[in-house]
Amino acid sequence: MEIDRLIGHLNGEIRLCKELVSLLQKETEAIVSRDYRALYEIVGQKEHLVTRVNALSEARAGFIRAALSFLGAPAEQEPSLAAVIEKAGSPAKQDIENCRSTLQTLASSVKELNSLNARVIENSLENVKKTLGFLGNFLQPSVYKPGGKLDEFALKGSRLSKGA
């Protein structure tokens, strides 16, 4: 009974992690295609999804403790999926092992996609900085000071004189 609840909980985590991976892939596409409207929507969805994934991850310890208690493990034993796998029977053991393996794979995918998106954004920002630096070389010195007074700029013209 408790083992089935743990497996159900792990499958819920897997489902949310798959959604997160899909969302991160959409985020990559939005960054590359410069679809900023979609990117803002994706970031909002991602924040909500990450909050849900974190909540489920924190709740996992309770399910693991309950499963270990059901399997007759001592109360002082550290709650972990490895401990449950070690004590569980044959069919449940394989299911939990598959869930753990899937979660590890999804976690590495999330990490990889996050790092890819960060690199793409950093490279884009570096290109913007280089472009602004290049364009800054063409700026003319300002004529007016911040207070609105003329800078040390020589005015020339047929009707301008120093005495006027």
What value, to the nearest 5°, has the Cα angle with vertex 78 and ends 76 and 81? 135
Residue 83's domain comprises: 2-134
φ, ψ (nearest 5 deg) of residue 88? -75, 160
In this prediction, residue 42 carries a pLDDT of 93
CA distances from 26 to 21, 52, 68, 116, 117 (A): 9, 19, 39, 12, 10
* Domains in the chain, number: 1
Integer Cα distance of 93 and 84 in angstroms: 8
Integer Cα distance of 66 and 79 in angstroms: 9
Q: Is residue 104 part of a domain?
A: yes
- Specify the higher pLDDT residue, 162 or 138: 138
Judged by DSSP in three states, 147 sits in coil
**What pairs with residue 144 in β-bridges?**
150
Q: Is residue 9 part of a domain?
A: yes
CA distances from 70 to 53, 75, 77, 80 (A): 26, 11, 13, 14
Half-sphere exposure of 109 (CA within 13 A, CB side): 16
Q: Is residue 154 part of a domain?
A: no
In this prediction, residue 81 carries a pLDDT of 85
Q: 4-25 pLDDT, tens per residue?
A: 899 999 999 999 999 999 999 9
User: What CATH number does the domain containing 50 carry?
Assistant: 1.20.58
In this prediction, residue 11 carries a pLDDT of 94
Q: Is residue 54 part of a domain?
A: yes
Tell me the helices (H) and strands (E) count for the chain, helix number first.
4, 0
In this prediction, residue 95 carries a pLDDT of 92
**Which range is least confidently modeled, 69-73, 123-127, 136-140?**
136-140
Q: 34-75 pLDDT, tens per residue?
A: 888 999 999 999 999 999 999 999 999 889 888 888 888 787
Q: Is residue 51 part of a domain?
A: yes
Q: Is residue 77 part of a domain?
A: yes
Q: Quick check: 140 and 133 in contact, CB under 8 A?
A: no
